[in-house]
Structure 1
Amino acid sequence: MLFAAGLGTRMRPLTDDRPKPLIEVGGQTLLDRALFVAREAGAGPIVVNSHYKGQMIADHLAGQDIAISDEADLLLDTGGGLRKALPLLGEGPVVTLNPDVVWRGANPVAALHAAWDGARMDALLMLVPLAQTTGRVGGGDFSTDDAGRLMRKGDLVYGGVQMLNPARLAEIPDQVFSLNKLWDLQIAAGRAFGTVYGGQWCDLGRPETIPLAEAMLNGG
């Protein structure tokens, strides 16, 4: 699932006339870059959610074998959005991608698939060492223990790509909620893990990060 429903407020004025996933970096939209990552890794079926200027997302994806989870009536955040999309995704585990990041190196979805162990994992997050990030504001999000189990706080940044078992979404009563609530359940159960990315990563959070991402992609 690709999360494309956000308002993109930090990217204004670029998002005044388009949703954030349709901003171009290096001549390619963020949405198309994320779709390439998913397809190259063999992920499918693919679902994209939409809210802000959702018709532009639908028009951009027209003719492709991609389902749209329409959140025009209510923006559900990542947790609520994923739960709404589950009938379109089918049985888990599922992969979620944030299109507003750019990767340079190995395919992160393929790396997650290779490291996934459903017998002991309910979540596997792709983490990036703070020193390998570009455009990041603030510190890290997580650390891991010797077995790779996820812990809050540390110098590892969540890269916006994960593989997870969505079953426990049913335990969360809220309609609108972040996937952080699901992670907290999985962390408490000792079933949330992280794997560290070996390449480079850029957070496309603000207009000034676009040239940084393009320089990174060009080897800078």
Structure 2
Amino acid sequence: MNTSSLTILVLFYSRHGSTQKMAEFIAQGIESVPRCDARLRTVPAVSTTVEAVESDIPTDGAPYVELADLKECAGLALGSPTRFGNMAAAMKYFLDGTAADWLSGTLTGKPASVFTSTGSLHGGQESTLLTMMLPLLHHGMLLVGLPYGQPELMTTTTGGSPYGATHWSGLDGKNPVSDDSRKLAIALGKRLAETALKLHRTT
């Protein structure tokens, strides 16, 4: 049995920092599991102005994802703010460029989870999670959600779903992550890592 650490990719897009904060809590949950390491990565912004380009290296925060990160990961947590009940264009743009990995089965059989933050409490949290699941299913990934054995799912008033971790950031993006949302994000990261570990042991 291989005893080396497993890398779990936490891939997110964050415009104002709320989704990034959720990514950090998910990474905390991943790293609470022995032999599991979180690798935080982001994607460049996209623009309706064709000439606009992003620097090759982000000015701060997580590095940009590379396709090699998909090959090297044992699991994936995918996060995006909601855009009209859907994932942000930047994340969709990256996923649209993974056709070669889809054909080769790079992600097939690996566990995945999803997370989001929204400006309004009922602004598409669950539909955004569902839209992020669809390309992961096409990639042959095994989706991991949050079971109702997690007590915060029954008490939260600020986000959280059996489909994944969520956060209500408010219209100005300044709402802090609530204690319930924080616990659910950590729990999701932990469950994802534990699942990756179990699957790794059976291969």
- The TM-score normalised by the length of structure 1 is 0.36
Q: Where is the strand percentage greater, Structure 1 or Structure 2?
A: 1
Higher helix share: 2
Structure 2 length normalisation: TM-score?
Answer: 0.38
